[in-house]
Amino acid sequence: MLEIRNLHAEIGGKEILRGLDLHVRPGEVHAIMGPNGSGKSTLANVLAGQPDYEVTAGEVLYHGKNLLEMPAEERAREGVFLAFQYPVEIPGITNAYFMRTSLNAQRKHRGEEEIDAVDFLSLVREKMKLIEMDEKFLNRSVNEGFSGGEKKRNEVLQMALLDPMLAILDETDSGLDIDALRIVANGVNTLRSEKHAVLVITHYQRLLSYLVPDVTHVLMGGRIVKSGDRSLAEKLEESGYGWIEEEVAKGGAPA
């Protein structure tokens, strides 16, 4: 589904990704961990098409198509979803209106009929129940005045509603208490199927105990330096990244 080869990307002239390779198959959940500044968020933003980032080398294939050539909105319509680390506020536009506009843009792209207000409401209510979100958030402006946790939950709501093929969660767990974490993980777990794939970017192992990844990667210096199963995440939580840095240094890999 997603094939990243030798990806190099920079922002403001500073190279962040330096030859990243990653292969995600349908049905898989991948966790990406790594110290601050290792390039985790850059990876998420480059995949979503954030215009401030510039890809200088490498390629990204998504369902066999060149993802990097598509404008951001087309990537979204093709099923790439980014749960933002810092969700953006949109004053004056209700959450319900925003989500329906978004859903209809994607349905239109797939050649489906637009969903009307009534059907939309019952659909979104069902999803809100799933992630235990109060319906009052439907009529509030998008993310405006939401707490950090509410914003994150709103991202998960949109994800559940849009049902993306490839969901990228950029530190969705940071700033969440343990209950919220469980709910967010539930939301993601319902997305799991043999067709969907999820990329979970996180600092902490704790989300991964609710959301068991198939593969865990360690991103360091703009490259994936180690991949393994869930035990890798646990080891990182206990021992930090020092031992991997040593390993990388010994292996002589460029940092």
Nearer to other proteins (CB atom), residue 11 or residue 121: 11
Which of 198/215 has CB closer to other proteins? 198
Cβ atoms within 10 Å, residue 195: 12
Q: For 54-82, give one letter per residue: b (16+ CB within 10 A) or e.
A: eeeebebebeeeebbebeeeebbbbbbbb
Taking the complex as a whole, the smallest distance from the CB of residue 127 to other proteins amounts, in Å, to 15
In angstroms, rounded to a whole number, what is the distance separating the alpha carbons of residues 55 and 104?
Answer: 30
Q: Which stretch binds other proteins (CB under 8 A): 21-29, 74-82, 204-212, 216-224?
A: 74-82
Task: Write down the least CB distance from residue 166 to other proteins, Å.
Answer: 12
Query: Stretches 80-88, 185-193, 218-226, 236-244: which one binds other proteins (CB under 8 A)?
Result: 80-88
* Strand pairing report for 215-220 and 29-33: parallel
Site mask for other proteins (CB under 8 A), range 91-130, x = bound: xxx----x--xx--xx--x---------------------
The least distance separating other proteins from the CB of residue 94, rounded to whole angstroms, comes to: 9
- Nearer residue to other proteins within complex by CB, 62 or 84: 84
- Report whether 184 contacts 153 (CB < 8 A): yes
Q: Could you give the CA distance from residue 219 to residue 226 in angstroms, rounded to a whole number?
A: 7
**Closest to other proteins by CB, 161 or 220:** 161
Q: Are strands 197-201 and 166-170 parallel, antiparallel or unpaired?
A: parallel
Distance, in Å, from the CA atom of 158 to the CA atom of 217, rounded to the nearest integer, reads 26
Q: How far is CA 88 from the centre of its chain?
A: 15
Q: Please pick, from the candidates 82, 138, 183, 248, the single residue that binds other proteins as defined by CB under 8 A.
A: 82
Binding-site string for other proteins from residue 159 to residue 178, where x marks contact by CB under 8 A and - marks none: ---x----------------
If one counts every other C-beta atom within 10 angstroms of the C-beta of residue 234, the result is 14
Is the separation of the CB atoms in 23 and 79 below 8 Å?
no
18-57: contacts with other proteins (CB under 8 A): 48-52, 54
Site residues for other proteins, 128-147, by CB under 8 A, read 141
Shortest distance, position 141 Cβ to other proteins, whole Å: 7
Instruction: Return d(Cα 197, Cα 163) in angstroms, integer.
Output: 11
C-beta closer to other proteins: residue 41 or 216: 41
Binding site for other proteins (CB under 8 A): 48-52, 54, 71-73, 75-77, 81-82, 84, 87-93, 98, 101-102, 105-106, 109, 141, 158, 162
